[in-house]
Amino acid sequence: MLDNLSLFVQYPPLAFDVVLNGLLIGAIFALAAYGMALVWGVLNIVNVVQGELVVLGGYVTFVAVQWGMPPLLGLPLSAAAMFCVGWLIYRAVIFRVVDRDIFISILATFGLSILIQQLANALFGSDVRTVDADLGSVHLFDGMVTLAGIKLLAFALALGAGGALWFFLRKARLGQAIRATAQDPRAARILGIDTDRVFAMTYALNAALCGAAGSLAVMAWTIHPYLGLPYTVRSFMVVVVAGVGNVAGVIAAGLGLGALENVAGFVFGVEFQIAFVFALMVIILVWRNAMATRKRSHLE
Amino acid sequence: MSRISDWYIMGAIALAGLAGPLLLPGLATQIAFLWLMVVFALTWDMLGGRMGYNSFGNIVFFGIGCYAAAVVQRDAGLPYFEALALGLLAGAVCAVLAAVVFGAAMLGIRGHYFAIGTLGLGIAAGEVAAGWDYVGAGSGMALPLYPGELGQRELFFCYSLFALAAICFLCCRAVYATRFGLALNAIRDDHDKADAMGLRTTPIKIFAWALSAFFLALSGGLAANMIGFIDPRDVAFAGATFGVWMVLMAILGGKGTLWGPVLGAFVFHVTQELFWTWLLGWQRVALGLLIVIIVVFFPQGIMGWLAERRARAEAGT
């Protein structure tokens, strides 16, 4: 562990490589986290099935490429397919839990996540899958730093999607309806907004964002059926740190998480990377609670 | 349920628990698992049902019990039963300490933050165990062989787990009847009011979690010996099976009631034993579907449903 740390000091470009690659992967986390923030803010549901939607999006691209489609076309295809899946999930389950106890919605989406995870396992097998996007790589510092083209694309895309989402929520009619519903569903209904449709669109939009994230994940990294929960937890963490209605914060937190995770994976070893993600979430929650308690005691 | 019929039911279950394994020795392992499920559901309900803290990470304490027993039995150099007893004790101590530490840190977190936080705790523990060489890392640990005759082993674990489930049940029954039990319900119903009424909520919550950790660790040590092998992700910290079943059984039976978790464990385990093998590899898909259906359509559970029916009948007459 310390050996790995001292490597950073001896070869600064290596540290640069690890951090930069982590930042770029973090863009994928940010993409999935936009969706979670949206669903959390509008439907008041913590969507535990988030990560499975990401993984499923990855499988759509994987299958499309197997059928001979160019990998980059898989990206819009994944988003579109997952939009439909999200709509179906909303119509089947989510609309029944929107107004109910938070525990019911967490457990219901948790059940959905087991369901989709196991279905993916049965349909696609438990092998680790990846797709080569054929975009080449960029080398810096005499090859000490290697950046895959697809990661750069993912980064650009996540930023673009963040901007588009911000614009959509502020300017588009549906976006304004979504924001109104988030503020007060009852008042929105009185003003003639079909909140059920807004909820459905929000959930489907979230699934589409997850689909895009998954498509990028399968090209830039790997997927397998059991990777869903880590994505859920990453999105959750990012939203907890950034806040629900804060697109710029989500980007920053997502990138930061990616960099931190990559460094931790390098220092502690890859076998502890997942443990690190989950432990980090616990630490963030405990920290957040401790800060809130301190603030309260100041007020007294 | 009136006082008298309560005792009848407990007597009948005790009789069945004592005679069952002797009459049906072929089913001893399944019956042992049934008692394990009862412990799971009861300990989950202490927090989830009674106190309103929905933990998805109680499996941590089960896993600690598994590993503590296995390590002690491996390294203590004692005969089987002494080592087992020492291992169970070590597991219980470790789990209670863990519950106090985690509880002090995490029980201040509320609502869905607590639920997701404990979910992370359970998975992180499994991943750490899977990467830690001292406890066998990803390949898990094998436990020493039971020294008795063939067929004795199943009976031994069946009766030990039965005793554990019975003690756990009686303990819950006694605890819920005290002021402490009322304090748990007060925390569930309105945490801030409970605080304002002067309840020392933090120690109460930690004690409740430690109590549930104590029983879970004992069940972990026994279950690990019964199964004979612990895998970090599939036995000890099996969040996707045991960890989810705990929640599901308590809800199915009716959370927050005394008999609900027991009933839920019986119904779930029997259903599972009868129908699971027909599903041929689709069991976990069915589990996910079952969770969604139960939670969305039947969140009050069997006991809640019965109480509703009775209330409606009384209102009608």
Domain boundaries, chain A: 2-299
Across the interface, do A278 and B127 touch by the CB < 8 Å criterion?
yes
Q: Is residue B253 part of a domain?
A: yes
CA angle A171, A174, A177 (to 5 degrees): 95
User: Which range (A250-254, A256-260, A272-276) has the least confidence?
Assistant: A272-276
pLDDT of res. A205:
92
pLDDT at B307 over 70: yes
Q: CB pairs below 8 Å between A and B: how many?
A: 121
The answer to the question of residue B6 being in a domain is: no
**CA A108, CA A7: separation in Å to the nearest integer?**
46
Chain B residue numbers with beta carbons less than 8 Å from the beta carbon of A278 are 120-121, 123-124, 127
The DSSP secondary structure of B281-296, one letter per residue, reads T-HHHHHHHHHHHHHH
Q: Note the residue count of chain B.
A: 317
Taking the C-alpha atoms of residue B79 and residue B76, their distance in angstroms, rounded to an integer, is 9
- Distance CA(B47)–CA(B35), nearest Å, equals 19
Q: Which of A97, A115, A116, A241 to probe by mutation at the B interface, max B CB count within 10 Å?
A: A115
| pTM of the full structure | 0.86
Selected for mutation to probe chain B from A99, A105, A281 (highest B CB count within 10 Å) is A281
Average pLDDT over every residue of A137-150? 71
Judge: A240–B244 Cβ closer than 8 Å, yes or no: no
Closest residue, chain A, to B126 (C-alpha): A275
Is the pLDDT confidence value at B4 over 70? no
In the structure, what pLDDT confidence band is assigned to residue A155 with cuts at 50, 70 and 90?
Answer: confident
CATH assignment of the domain containing B46: 1.10.3470
Q: Are A108 and B295 within 8 A, CB to CB?
A: yes
Please compute the mean of the pLDDT values over residues A30-41 and round it to a whole number: 90
How far, in whole angstroms, is CA B195 from its chain's centroid?
28
Q: What is the pLDDT of residues A222-235, one digit of tens each?
A: 888 888 888 998 99
Cα angle A159-A165-A167, degrees, rounded to a multiple of 5 = 105
Closest partner CB to A286 (pick from B105, B115, B288)? B105
> Which has more pLDDT, B1 or A264?
A264
What is the domain class of A2-299 according to CATH? mainly alpha
CA geometry: angle A111, A112, A117, nearest 5 deg: 100
Burial label for A168, CB within 10 Å (0-12, 13-18, 19+), is: middle
| The pLDDT of residue B128 | 86
Q: Is the pLDDT of residue A166 over 90?
A: no
pLDDT tens column, B67-94: 998 898 888 878 888 888 888 999 999 9
Note down the domain range covering B141.
27-316
As a whole-number percent, the residues of chain B with pLDDT over 70 amount to 98
Total domain count, chain B: 1
